[in-house]
Amino acid sequence: MTQREDFARVKKTGQAKAGRFIILSTLPDPALPTIRTGFITTKRCGKAHDRTLLRRRFRSLVQAHAPHFAEIRRYLVTIARPGASQATFAELEEDWVRQARRLGLLSRPDQKS
């Protein structure tokens, strides 16, 4: 996602769940060919180094888990909360997967640990 309007539409009409380190927000759109994803790391999350690291880890999470989604055609926004830069990748992944389950993104037979 690159356009400001896309982020605004997901925020206004989509669903969101907040965890300890991240907020996950999504909006299904059957018109899309595949998933369209965005990451938000505000200045409160840390300096430039920490924020780029968070974005890279978020991208890695989407690459690992998006293939197991029940419906892939959707907007997906991952927002970092203050304190996320102190978390390890495993902690981020646990939080992210929990919020994804709460939103019903992951299909039933998924046994990803």
Partner RNA sequence: GCCGCUCCCCGGACGGUCGCAGUUUCCGCGCAAGCGGGAGGUGAGGAAAGUCCGGACACCAAAGAGCAACGCGCCUCAUGAAAGUGGGGGACGGGAACCGCGAGGAACCUGGACGGAAAGUGCAGCAGAAAGAUACCGCCAACCGCUCGCAAGGGCAAAUGGUAAGGGUGAAAUGGUGGAGUAAGAGCCCACCGCGAAUCCGGGUAACCGGACGGCAUGGCAAACCCCGCGUGGUGCAAGACAGAACAGGGGAAGGGCGGCUCGUCCGUUAGAAACCCCGGGUAUUAGUCGCAUCUUGCGCAAGCAGGGCGCUCCGCUCCGGCGGGGUGAGAGAAAUGGCCGUCCAACCUCGGAAGAGGGGGACAGAAUCCGGCUUACAGGGGAGCGGCACUC
Partner RNA sequence: GGCGGAGUAGCCAAAUGGUAAGGCAAUGGUUUGCAAAACCGUCAUGCGUGGGUUCGAUUCCCACCUCCGCCU
Applying CB under 7 A, does 72 fall inside the site for RNA?
no
Tell whether residue 86 is a contact of RNA (CB under 7 A): no
How far the first Cα of the chain sits from its last, in Å, is 28
Q: Which stretch binds RNA (CB under 7 A): 21-29, 59-67, 73-81, 100-108?
A: 59-67
Q: How far is the CB of 101 from RNA (least distance, A)?
A: 19
The reply to whether 59 sits near RNA by the rule CB under 7 A is yes
Toward RNA, which CB reaches closer, 2 or 108? Answer: 2
Q: Work out the number of other CB atoms within 10 angstroms of the CB of residue 79.
A: 20
Distance, CA of 56 to CA of 47 (rounded, Å): 15
Spatial separation of the C-alpha atoms in residues 108 and 82, rounded to whole Å: 31
Out of 11, 16, 36, 50, the only residue in the binding site for RNA (CB under 7 A) is 50
SS3 content of the chain, % helix, strand, coil (to 5): 45, 20, 35
Among 8, 32, 52, 86, binds RNA (CB under 7 A): 52
Per DSSP, the three-state class of 83 is coil
For residue 36, the SS3 value is strand
Is 60 one of the binding residues for RNA (CB under 7 A)?
yes
User: Site residues (CB under 7 A) for RNA?
Assistant: 2, 47-50, 52-53, 55-57, 59-60, 63-64, 88-90
